[in-house]
């Protein structure tokens, strides 16, 4: 009985001691590795990391499209010592609007619609007749044209059901409106 009572206690104690040793070993390993720039995520809470000096700067390109007021953003990492020469080589349409230790913001405005509003058209029934919008939603700001002569009641059932939900057309900006024209020709016949 004495031995049986002692055994589970010893097991728990052994596990706790082993866990303690393991944590100590990991912390020690972390301590030596951090000089080499290597870190072990598990031990991070136990060892304070120095904030590393970043070798690169994030350059963010912000394009505003004047006709729809949409904005697109891309970014790339530039080596810190190349930033000044990089900024001097980019096209004059970009202007640097913000610069701090962590990044540079470049802004340009294009007098056109954004890629989304340039490439997509929605043909949909609106107030009993066909209307065509830029983009993928019937947003009144992007109504291109209404066709009061193409009435809902005159359409075939299949076409009417489709245009109630809206029919999307996407293509290159120079081609998409021609596709819309051909589609509308097809449903009038
Ligand atoms: Zn847009």
Side-by-side strand order, sheet with 143-151: 143-151, 129-134, 120-126, 167-170
Q: In angstroms, what is the span from residue 51 Cα to ligand 1's centroid?
A: 40
Distance 140 CA to ligand 1 centre (A): 13
Both tokens of residue 106?
């470049």
Give the model confidence (pLDDT) of 21-65 as tens digits. 777 776 666 666 665 555 555 555 555 666 566 688 899 999 999
How many angstroms separate the alpha carbon of residue 73 from the centre of ligand 1? Answer: 13
Tell me, in angstroms, the distance from the centre of ligand 1 to residue 106's CA: 19
What is 56-110's CATH superfamily?
A: Bypass-of-forespore C, N-terminal domain (3.10.20.420)
Q: Which helix (H) or strand (E) holds 155?
A: none
Write the pLDDT tens digit of every residue in 131-143: 999 999 999 999 9
Query: In this structure, are residues 61 and 109 in contact, taking their beta carbons and an 8 Å threshold?
Result: no
Q: What is the pLDDT of residue 1?
A: 46
Q: For residue 93, what pLDDT is reported?
A: 86
Q: How many CB atoms lie within 10 A of CB 186?
A: 9
Q: pLDDT tens-digit profile of 97-115?
A: 777 666 889 999 999 999 9
Instruction: Give the pLDDT of residue 80.
Output: 83
């Amino acid at each position: 009985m004495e031995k049986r009572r002692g055994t589970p206690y010893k097991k728990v104690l052994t596990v706790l001691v082993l866990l303690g040793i393991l944590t100590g070993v990991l912390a020690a390993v972390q301590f030596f590795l951090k000089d080499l720039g290597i870190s072990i995520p598990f031990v991070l809470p136990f060892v304070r990391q120095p904030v590393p000096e970043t070798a690169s700067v994030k350059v963010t390109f912000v394009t505003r499209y004047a006709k729809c007021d949409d904005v697109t953003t891309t970014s790339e990492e530039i080596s810190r010592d190349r930033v000044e020469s990089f900024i001097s080589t980019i096209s004059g349409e970009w202007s640097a609007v913000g610069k701090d230790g962590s990044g540079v913001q470049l802004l340009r405005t294009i007098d056109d619609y954004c890629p989304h509003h340039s490439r997509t058209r929605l043909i949909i029934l609106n107030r009993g007749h066909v209307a065509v919008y830029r983009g993928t939603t019937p947003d009144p700001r992007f109504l291109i044209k209404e066709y009061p002569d193409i009435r809902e009641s005159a359409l075939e059932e299949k076409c009417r059901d489709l245009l109630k939900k809206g029919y999307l057309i996407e293509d290159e900006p120079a081609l998409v409106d021609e596709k819309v024209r051909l589609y509308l020709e097809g449903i009038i016949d």
